[in-house]
A and B are shown apart, each in its own frame.
Chain A
Amino acid sequence: MLEIKDLNVRYGGIHAVRGIDMSVPQGSIITLIGANGAGKSSTLRAICNLVKKSGTISFMGEDISRLPTREIVKRGVSMVPEGRRVFADLTIYENLVLGAYTRKDESGIKNDIEWVYSLFPRLKEREKQLAGTLSGGEQQMLAVGRALMSRPKLLMMDEPSLGLAPLLVRDVFKIIQKIHEEGVTILLIEQNARMALKVADYAYVLETGAIALSGSGQELLQNQEVTRAYLGGV
């Protein structure tokens, strides 16, 4: 579904992503793990064309590497950015409506808002509240809900469990699986490597901008190097 070839991202002198090849098959959950500064976020931002890059990116067989972000979103790619980035002085409802900015089907949008509310009942109670007044966890739910509002074929999530209490992290993973069961392909960046690898069909380990290792979630869970570097000990 998504094919990345020889992706490079440079910020001035910093070569943040160095020639990555990646593939995200339709219907899969793919995860990207790696230390801080490894280039995970840069990779996702490059896919959405939010940063200057070189290389080719194709989605559903079409080259999207030169398309403006909105065209990529229109084709079915959606992203939950790192650090939530909800629109703090817009209401929760308005945030969700903006998530559907590329769509024109009023009634479909209404239904999907209800669908998001059913995934996150907390948001419905606070519909008219400014997003900035939500707790961190609630903002994260809103960011995920907002990304779903474009009815993506591919949902990319940049550390959706960041800063959440362990119980909430479990909820986030449940939601991820639920979204996946609805037919959405998922590309996930996670600090919580163990949980990510458990749900992932395939995983890439990024080290200083290059792919150091890749394999199925199960393989990597058993890999000693990965265990030592990312899963905290033996």
Chain B
Amino acid sequence: MTFELFLQHLINGISLGSLYALIAIGYTMVYGIVRLINFAHGDIIMLAAYFVFFGVGLFHMPWWLSALLSIVLTALVGMGIEKAAYKPLRDAPRISILISAIGVSFFLENFGIVVFGGRPQAFYSPKVFQGVIKLGNVSIINLGIIIPVITIILLMGLVYIVNNTRTGMAMRACSKDIDTAKLMGIDVDRIISFTFGLGSALAAVGGIMWGLKYPQLHPLIGIMPGLKCFIAAVVGGIGNIPGAMLGGFILGIGEILLVAFLPGLSGYRDAFAFIILILILLFRPTGILGEKVAEKV
């Protein structure tokens, strides 16, 4: 394999990894605070893509406006799901809320099939994303640059919010000790809601860019990326935000390079994430950046 070709694959891997990272963060942030695997998170991606699809196709809005509205709407849906399906179960046994999450996921998928139709649709992709940049012998589709750049900007923004704002500090406090966070006067419900909103908004960006990269839309489109991003969060250390980013990039880059170097295995592409998951669970169950199990003093 030539160096140019390798570079091309690497860039492709980075942009897939970016999408995984954006989506994985939602899993990890929610888990960090509510200790819940939000199974509906994958389907949120699908909703975001359909929102853009309908914004442009049905309401004839400009693409950028549809994308913006989709992000806001998806964040609201994420917050709504928390209010309706998780909040009432917060004091119930852990398994109830998990089952509720699975229920929401099935609901969204079937809602999609009934309302959006099961037939695959073509996702609109504005021309700006399709141009090709040539760097020496390497030619990259604009999207291959735009996705990582947008991702990095968003991730830096997220890290800033979490580390340097009052709300971010409150999020970190809630993820360690809800009762003591309450004693500080933190409105824990609001922080949880904000966390769902933020995670869903990032997933929406991921979902929209997913649609640009793989422009075939159908109601079950969120399942596989959802699963892989959950794995990315576990690989990085669930509950740990930089971990989710790292896990996302490892899975994305790994998946693309696997196919590039061993084309014979390309049929196993989706299995790659699961193999990594099994390896991590065997050798480092808390994930790469995960902490040791918290000790109580």
Interface residues of A (CB under 8 A from B): 45, 48, 50, 68-70, 73-74, 78-79, 81, 83-85, 87-90, 94, 97-99, 101-102, 136, 146-147, 150
Report the Cα distance A21→B187, complex, angstroms.
29
Interface residues of B in 162-191 (CB under 8 A from A): 166, 169-170, 172-173, 176-177, 179-187
Write out the residue numbers on chain B whose beta carbons fall within 8 Å of the beta carbon of A99.
184
Report the Cα distance A45→B179, complex, angstroms.
10
Select one of B166, B169, B297 contacting A83, CB under 8 A: B297
Write out the residue numbers on chain B whose beta carbons fall within 8 Å of the beta carbon of A97.
166, 169
Q: Which residue of A lies closest to B176 (CB)?
A: A87
Q: Could you give 17 example pairs across A and B, Cβ below 8 Å? A: A45-B179, A68-B187, A69-B182, A73-B183, A78-B183, A81-B179, A83-B297, A84-B297, A85-B180, A87-B180, A89-B172, A97-B169, A98-B173, A98-B186, A102-B184, A136-B297, A150-B184
Select one of A69, A70, A84, A90 contacting B173, CB under 8 A: A90
A50-B179, A50-B182, A84-B297 known; A70 vs B187 contact (CB < 8 Å): yes
Report whether B176 and A94 are in contact in the complex, using a CB–CB cutoff of 8 Å.
no
Q: A69-B183, A101-B184, A146-B184 are in contact. List 20 more A-B contacts (CB 8 A).
A: A50-B179, A50-B182, A68-B187, A70-B182, A73-B183, A73-B184, A85-B180, A87-B172, A88-B176, A89-B172, A89-B176, A90-B172, A97-B166, A98-B184, A99-B184, A101-B166, A101-B185, A102-B185, A150-B184, A150-B185
Write out the residue numbers on chain A whose beta carbons fall within 8 Å of the beta carbon of B180.
81, 85, 87
Select one of A50, A83, A85, A101 contacting B186, CB under 8 A: A101
Write out the residue numbers on chain A whose beta carbons fall within 8 Å of the beta carbon of B176.
87-89
Report whether B169 and A70 are in contact in the complex, using a CB–CB cutoff of 8 Å.
no
Report whether B183 and A50 are in contact in the complex, using a CB–CB cutoff of 8 Å.
yes
Interface centre among B172, B180, B183, B186 (most CB of A within 10 A): B183
Nearest CB on A from B180, distance (A): 4
Write out the residue numbers on chain A whose beta carbons fall within 8 Å of the beta carbon of B296.
83
Write out the residue numbers on chain A whose beta carbons fall within 8 Å of the beta carbon of B183.
48, 50, 69, 73, 78-79, 81, 147
Chain B, interface residues (CB within 8 Å), range? 10 to 19
List of 9 A-B pairs having minimum Cβ-Cβ separation, nearest first: A102-B185, A73-B185, A69-B182, A70-B185, A85-B180, A101-B185, A101-B184, A98-B184, A87-B173
Report the Cα distance A124→B186, complex, angstroms.
24
Report whether B177 and A85 are in contact in the complex, using a CB–CB cutoff of 8 Å.
yes
Q: Which residue of A lies closest to B187 (CB)?
A: A70
Report the Cα distance A97→B170, complex, angstroms.
10
Report the Cα distance A69→B188, complex, angstroms.
10
A70-B187, A83-B297 known; A98 vs B182 contact (CB < 8 Å): no
Write out the residue numbers on chain B whose beta carbons fall within 8 Å of the beta carbon of A87.
172-173, 176-177, 180
Write out the residue numbers on chain A whose beta carbons fall within 8 Å of the beta carbon of B172.
87, 89-90
Q: Which residue of B lies closest to A98 (CB)?
A: B184
Interface centre among A68, A73, A98, A146 (most CB of B within 10 A): A98
Write out the residue numbers on chain A whose beta carbons fall within 8 Å of the beta carbon of B170.
98, 101
Report whether A90 and B186 are in contact in the complex, using a CB–CB cutoff of 8 Å.
no
Write out the residue numbers on chain A whose beta carbons fall within 8 Å of the beta carbon of B181.
98
Write out the residue numbers on chain A whose beta carbons fall within 8 Å of the beta carbon of B177.
85, 87
Report whether B186 and A70 are in contact in the complex, using a CB–CB cutoff of 8 Å.
yes
Report the Cα distance A85→B296, complex, angstroms.
9
Write out the residue numbers on chain A whose beta carbons fall within 8 Å of the beta carbon of B184.
73, 98-99, 101-102, 146, 150
Nearest CB on B from A136, distance (A): 8
Report the Cα distance A99→B296, complex, angstroms.
21
Report the Cα distance A5→B294, complex, angstroms.
38
Q: Which residue of B lies closest to A74 (CB)?
A: B185
Write out the residue numbers on chain B whose beta carbons fall within 8 Å of the beta carbon of A98.
169-170, 173, 181, 184, 186
Report the Cα distance A74→B184, complex, angstroms.
9
Q: Which residue of A lies closest to B189 (CB)?
A: A68
Q: Which residue of B lies closest to A78 (CB)?
A: B183
Write out the residue numbers on chain A whose beta carbons fall within 8 Å of the beta carbon of B187.
68, 70
Report the Cα distance A204→B209, complex, angstroms.
64
Write out the residue numbers on chain B whose beta carbons fall within 8 Å of the beta carbon of A90.
169, 172-173
Report the Cα distance A81→B180, complex, angstroms.
8
A70-B185, A84-B297, A101-B186 known; A94 vs B179 contact (CB < 8 Å): no
Report the Cα distance A26→B173, complex, angstroms.
31
